[in-house]
């Protein structure tokens, strides 16, 4: 049964956008990764994996694999990556992944079904077609990649052609995300990521001809040399391309944390007001073109499974963002990958040297993690309900978590009154409901329920929410 879909209007006062141009988490998890601790190690994860394996009903897993290699450096990039032209490093990395996968095979009694596989990076297509085939075969020795399950891959358009897309389709990949960032040539040169518009159009056309279920395009606003005029042209090109999904991210300029960004001239960056005008015009244009605003920085066509999941109340968030996959366990493989097993999160070593050292010791390469408390689990449920459904059933929370909602969240609900005055939420004894306008500021609303964000200093470690 479908729920009533919230369709935000495009009328966003600039003063409201300015007011909420603040730092905050993306809530791909709660607690966020900065709260993981070293006391949660590989033995902690193994214990929870064995608890999962004791279950009489084996529920499908999701798997994320991080491929960190890229052939060229994009100046805006904040991902965990290794710049190299030496493709032998990819082959050596596959051997490391094999050892990590083998460790899981020794833990699980049976081949666990996998309903969703996602390859990210870096550039997963740094690996050759043969190596990607080897990787899929390796997974199937320990896991059971379900026929018809979702298999998605992030692709740098500069690294593939029709032949490579055919190889991906033959391996069962059925969703693809192309990292474009901007169609404007001057912007592309400023961030050292140059690709032709014609190439992107051809790849999207090819993906559709090959039967990929969904094609996503990543764009970034706030990049150097972007202007209202240039971004308007990029949006027009995007509308002509008409991908199934769009991820429209705000550029976070944090050169102290990410060395590649030091190559960007701050004088060429659009100011805060220009960035807000860009996102406002993007939202207006995409809604006018029939896209559904999924939340935060995600849009999808009405018949895309992400839009359907939102209408039906099945939307979730994980470390790849919004998803229509069930909220279940996730195993992260490779450097820096994060796993979610039961009430725990854990993260792998962030460098290949440290990752390999753990494997040499015959240990899972976990460097930190967290086991959620009862309060964490309750707050996660509230935050994810807001982020994904835009509303919280107070009765459902009380039944599921054995709490008196208005007592436990007395201070938070008092603060919600301020958001209610701004027309961003509606509060009743039974519901906390995000309004159409409030949906654009859902991260700020969710942050109220984050007990770890206790000062502005704490928030400054995150990117800006708009």
pLDDT tens across 282-294, in order? 999 999 999 999 9
User: What band does 11 get if pLDDT is binned at 50, 70 and 90?
Assistant: low
- What integer is the mean pLDDT of 447-455? 85
- What integer is the mean pLDDT of 220-243? 96
- What integer is the mean pLDDT of 319-336? 90
Considering the entire predicted model, what is its pTM? Answer: 0.92
- Return the closest-CA partner of residue 442 out of 406, 416, 408: 416
Strand partners, 347: 338, 368
**Cα–Cα dist 169/230, whole Å:** 34
Domain architecture of the chain: domains with CATH: 1-31+374-466 (1.10.10.920), 33-330 (3.80.30.20)
How confident is the model over 149-185, as pLDDT tens digits?
A: 999 999 999 999 999 999 999 999 999 999 999 999 9
What mean pLDDT value characterizes the chain?
A: 91
Question: Quick one: pLDDT at residue 463?
Answer: 62
Is pLDDT of 28 > 70? yes
- What integer is the mean pLDDT of 43-56? 85
- The Cα-based distances of 133 to 63, 69, 129 in angstroms read 16, 17, 6
DSSP state of 263: G
**Cα–Cα dist 335/97, whole Å:** 9
Question: Quick one: pLDDT at residue 268?
Answer: 96
- Return the closest-CA partner of residue 78 out of 218, 221, 255, 314: 255
User: What band does 57 get if pLDDT is binned at 50, 70 and 90?
Assistant: low
Question: Quick one: pLDDT at residue 454?
Answer: 63
Omega prior to 51 cis, within 30 of 0 = no
Question: Quick one: pLDDT at residue 5?
Answer: 44
Question: Quick one: pLDDT at residue 7?
Answer: 52
Among 389-398, 406-415, 423-432, 451-460, which stretch is predicted with the lowest mean pLDDT? 451-460
Residue with tokens 């290699």: 69
User: What band does 139 get if pLDDT is binned at 50, 70 and 90?
Assistant: very high
How is 78-136 classified by DSSP, letter by letter?
Answer: -S--EE-S-THHHHHHHHHHHHHHHHHHHH-SS-EEEEEEEEEES-GGGS-HHHHHHHH
Question: Quick one: pLDDT at residue 379?
Answer: 97
Among 34-43, 184-193, 313-322, which stretch is predicted with the lowest mean pLDDT? 313-322
Is pLDDT of 85 > 80? yes
Is pLDDT of 99 > 80? yes
Cα 255 to the chain's mean position, in Å?
22
Question: Quick one: pLDDT at residue 22?
Answer: 74
Within 8 A by CB and 6+ apart from 85, the residues are 71
Kindly tell me the burial class for residue 111, based on how many C-beta atoms sit within 10 Å of its own C-beta (0-12, 13-18, 19 or more). middle
Among 8-22, 49-63, 161-175, 180-194, which stretch is predicted with the lowest mean pLDDT? 8-22
């Amino acid at each position: 049964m479908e729920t009533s879909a919230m369709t935000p209007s495009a009328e966003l006062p600039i003063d409201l956008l300015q007011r909420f141009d603040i730092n905050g988490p993306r809530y791909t998890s709660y607690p966020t990764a900065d709260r993981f601790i070293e006391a949660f190690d590989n033995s902690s994860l193994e214990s929870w994996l064995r608890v999962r394996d004791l279950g009489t009903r084996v529920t499908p897993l999701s798997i994320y694999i991080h491929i960190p290699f890229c052939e060229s450096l994009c100046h805006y990039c904040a991902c965990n990556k290794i710049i190299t032209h030496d493709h032998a490093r990819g082959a050596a990395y596959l051997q490391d992944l094999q050892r990590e996968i083998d460790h899981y095979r020794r833990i699980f009694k049976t081949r666990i079904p996998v309903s969703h596989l996602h390859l990210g990076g870096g550039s997963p297509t740094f690996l050759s077609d043969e190596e990607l085939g080897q990787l899929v075969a390796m997974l199937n020795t320990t896991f059971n990649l379900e026929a018809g399950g979702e298999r998605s891959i992030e692709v740098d358009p500069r690294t593939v052609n029709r032949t490579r897309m055919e190889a991906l389709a033959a391996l069962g990949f059925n969703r693809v995300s192309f990292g474009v960032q901007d169609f404007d040539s001057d912007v592309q040169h400023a961030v050292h990521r140059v690709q032709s518009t014609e190439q992107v159009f051809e790849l999207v056309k090819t993906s559709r001809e090959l039967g990929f279920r969904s094609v996503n395009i990543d764009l970034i606003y706030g990049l150097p040399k972007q202007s209202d005029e240039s971004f308007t042209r990029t949006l027009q090109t995007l509308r002509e391309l008409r991908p199934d999904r769009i991820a429209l991210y705000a550029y976070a300029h944090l050169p102290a944390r990410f060395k590649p960004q030091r190559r960007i001239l701050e004088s060429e960056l659009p100011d805060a007001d220009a960035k807000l005008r860009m996102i406002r015009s993007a939202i207006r244009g995409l809604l006018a073109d029939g896209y559904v605003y999924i939340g935060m920085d995600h849009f999808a066509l009405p018949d895309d499974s992400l839009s359907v999941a939102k209408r039906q109340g099945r939307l979730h968030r994980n470390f790849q963002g919004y998803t229509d996959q069930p909220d279940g366990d996730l195993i992260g493989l490779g450097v820096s990958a994060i796993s979610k097993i039961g009430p725990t999160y854990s993260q792998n070593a962030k460098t290949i040297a440290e990752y390999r050292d753990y494997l040499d010791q015959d240990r899972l390469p976990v460097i930190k993690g967290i086991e959620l408390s009862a309060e964490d689990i309750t707050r996660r449920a509230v935050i994810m309900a807001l982020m994904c459904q835009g509303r919280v059933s107070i009765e459902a929370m009380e039944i599921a978590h054995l709490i008196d909602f208005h007592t436990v969240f007395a201070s938070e609900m008092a603060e919600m009154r301020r958001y209610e005055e701004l027309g961003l939420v509606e509060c009743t004894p039974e519901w906390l409901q995000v309004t159409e306008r409030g949906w654009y500021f859902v991260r700020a609303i969710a942050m109220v329920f984050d007990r770890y964000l206790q000062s502005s200093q704490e928030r400054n470690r995150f990117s800006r929410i708009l």
